[in-house]
């Protein structure tokens, strides 16, 4: 495990062959329970109350600039929804084949009907937005924050809740700064 400071702050690199030890270290470093250790609360909610009513999660996939779209999605869930999604095999897409991920996408849309939002930025639109942000002195993290905030706000209109979890591609303030009034009322 290597920790170093660069232009973007601290970075952490976990080297080595994939396996149980590496997976355990990765879990511990991000504050999640190690594999096989049950947690009575979802990751990220260990010190929070009231999450049982539901929360929204956001994530993205794709590069966006040349080879295909950048897709950012948000979905509102609760413990029962999470149990159903887990039962059908939903997990980190890096652990799924493309075929399985595509199959699960349809099932997720059914199970979470009316409580999700997807934003697809094809390369031309992605490049246009990124160029506009660069002219304002901003970087890719600002574009990502805008996209995450947009889908989060859209889902909040459909499924109001108190909490949201966004993939941490940058400091949480990037996303918080892009949220509008409804989004600013949640704990991110």
Q: How far apart are CA 84 and CA 107, in angstroms?
A: 10
pLDDT digits (tens, 9 = 90+) for 71-125: 999 999 998 998 899 899 988 777 888 899 899 999 999 999 999 999 999 999 9
pLDDT digits (tens, 9 = 90+) for 15-34: 888 888 888 887 777 666 67
| 43 confidence band (pLDDT: 50, 70, 90) | low
**Whether 163 contacts 186, CB under 8 Å:** yes
pLDDT score for 132: 94
- Report CA Rg, the chain: 17
pLDDT score for 134: 94
pLDDT score for 30: 67
Question: Nearest to residue 149, comparing CAs of 113, 112, 115, 186?
Answer: 186
State yes or no: pLDDT of 140 exceeds 80.
yes
pLDDT score for 104: 94
pLDDT score for 92: 79
pLDDT score for 76: 96
Q: Record the pTM.
A: 0.73
| 175 confidence band (pLDDT: 50, 70, 90) | confident
pLDDT score for 126: 92
Cβ neighbourhood burial of 57 (10 Å; 0-12, 13-18, 19+): buried
- Top pLDDT among 11 and 69 is at 69
**Whether 116 contacts 76, CB under 8 Å:** yes
């Amino acid at each position: 495990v290597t920790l170093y400071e660069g232009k973007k702050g601290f970075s952490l690199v976990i080297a080595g062959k994939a396996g149980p030890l590496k997976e355990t270290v990765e879990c511990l470093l991000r504050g999640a329970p190690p594999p096989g250790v049950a947690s009575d609360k979802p990751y990220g909610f260990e010190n929070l109350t009231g999450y049982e009513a539901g929360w929204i999660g956001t994530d993205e996939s794709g590069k966006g600039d040349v080879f295909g779209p950048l897709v950012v999605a948000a979905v509102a869930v609760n413990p029962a929804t999470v149990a159903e999604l887990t039962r059908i095999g939903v997990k980190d897409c890096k652990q799924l084949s493309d075929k399985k991920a595509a199959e699960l996408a349809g099932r997720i849309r059914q199970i979470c009907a009316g409580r999700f939002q997807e934003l697809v930025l094809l390369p031309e639109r992605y490049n246009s937005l990124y160029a506009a942000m660069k002219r304002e002195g901003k970087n890719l993290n600002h574009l990502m924050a805008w996209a995450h905030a947009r889908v989060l706000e859209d889902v909040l209109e459909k499924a109001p809740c108190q909490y949201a979890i966004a993939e941490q591609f940058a400091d949480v303030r990037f996303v918080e700064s892009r949220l509008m009034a409804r989004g600013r009322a949640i704990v991110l």
